[in-house]
Amino acid sequence: MRNNIIIAFFLLSTTFCFSQTEINWWDLARIDYTEKFFPAYDQNFLYPEFSDHMKSLEGKKVAITGYFLNIDPSGKLFILSKNPMASCFFCGMGGPETAMELEFRSKPNFNTDDVLYVTGTLKLNADDVQHFNYILTDAVAQKMN
């Protein structure tokens, strides 16, 4: 009986320890693109083809570290980037796989280029060109020192 209690305690404690999967920017970089015409904009966009690894994480809780970017004057769009603002993808130093959109539980209070550790539910976006390829929903962040 005592052994069963110890085993149950061990299994429960390991479940709590691994409640999210750590991902990194190399995981996000494993993506291919094909050109696809979007009639609403009357032009071609790069359509992402996600790796099997990333597809297996969709809808699951993940964690990643990156630079916080607050580029939207309305305060509605928040980004986590592999690189600081001066060298992020829209400044010419990478591709769309080097940033992800953050949908926070509550409005964040971070500054641009703060290094954050963010957890959230991974959403893969291949169709909506108004949003990033990678989106973390229900995001929670803590500032790294």
Question: Which residues contact residue 51 at a Cβ distance below 8 angstroms, ignoring those fewer than 6 apart?
Answer: 27, 30, 31
CA 10 to chain centre: 30
pLDDT of residue 32: 93
Residue ranges of the chain with pLDDT lower than 50? Answer: 4-16
pLDDT of residue 88: 66
pLDDT of residue 70: 86
Report CA-CA distances (Å) from 81 to 9, 10, 89, 101, 134. Answer: 38, 36, 8, 9, 11
pLDDT of residue 79: 94
Classify domain 20-143 by CATH number. Answer: 2.40.50.870
Is residue 145 within a helix (H) or strand (E), and if so which, with residue range?
none
Cα-only R_g, the chain: 18
pLDDT of residue 15: 44
Per residue in 46-56, pLDDT (tens digit) is 889 999 999 99
